[in-house]
Structure 1
Amino acid sequence: MATVTSSRDLPHPSLEEIRLESVLHALADPIRMRMVRDLATTDGGMSCSAFDVPVSASTATYHFRVLRESGVIRQAYKGTAKVSWLRQDDLAKLFPGLLDSMVEASTRQSGRLGEAS
């Protein structure tokens, strides 16, 4: 796992450490998939507080950690806010088309089931 240089740095797997089964596990949860869909619609990162998910802050923190440790997202502190970005380029190198397909399928399912985006 990547080296953490200060208490404000968050560990992220290197490209070589990202495994398909971890990514699929992270994307299998509906709350995490919703977070990924939200990130896929932004050009920049999103602060954790900007996500509208039906879970407590501590549960959201857990979901962000699963996404980060699997290599789906990158997180960094910007001032007092923790900001998240999709690792789209990294995932596209390792698993071409996977993230785009998952986001598209999840968006279609959400619309089909009448769920909030």
Structure 2
Amino acid sequence: MVQFVHPARDDITLTGVLAALSDPMRLRIVKALLQEGECMSCTAAAPCPEIPKSTLSNHFRILREAGLIQTTKKGVENRNVVRESDINLRFPGLLKAILKHAAE
């Protein structure tokens, strides 16, 4: 069974969050997850369905290891949700500011 690595809230770093969100595709994935407001599978959260699965898996791994998303297994699906409360407790207003200015 797959074990996902999720850093504890106190282990989430500003450098890791900013590095993960510096990629436009990962930023789009986080936006899609936040807009949905509930867990989404990797394929449903992907902004472009033509992305190879290996590339998509890598994007989700980077987001997960940075502490931005929580991934759980449900059947054969990997379900993802943004760790918004953890990010806001660690870096108040950061995620909102990044997403606001990324849209401009």
Greater gyration radius: 1
CA deviations over 1:76-101 (Å, ceiling 9, x no partner): 11111001100000000010011111
Answering whether residue 99 of structure 2 is matched by residue 103 of structure 1, we say yes
Q: How does 1:1-117 map to 2 (within 5 A)?
A: 7-50=1-44, 51-53=46-48, 54-106=50-102, 108-109=103-104
TM-score, normalising length: structure 2: 0.92
User: How many aligned residue pairs are there?
Assistant: 102
Shift of 1:24: 0.3
Shift of 1:52: 2.9
Shift of 1:102: 1.2
SS in 2 for 1:41: helix
More moved, 49-58 vs 29-38: 49-58
Alignment RMSD (CA, Å):
1.1
SS in 1 for 2:36: coil
**Structure 1 unpaired stretches of 5+:** 1-6, 110-117
Which protein, 1 or 2, shows the higher relative CO under an 8 Å CA cutoff with sep ≥ 6? 2
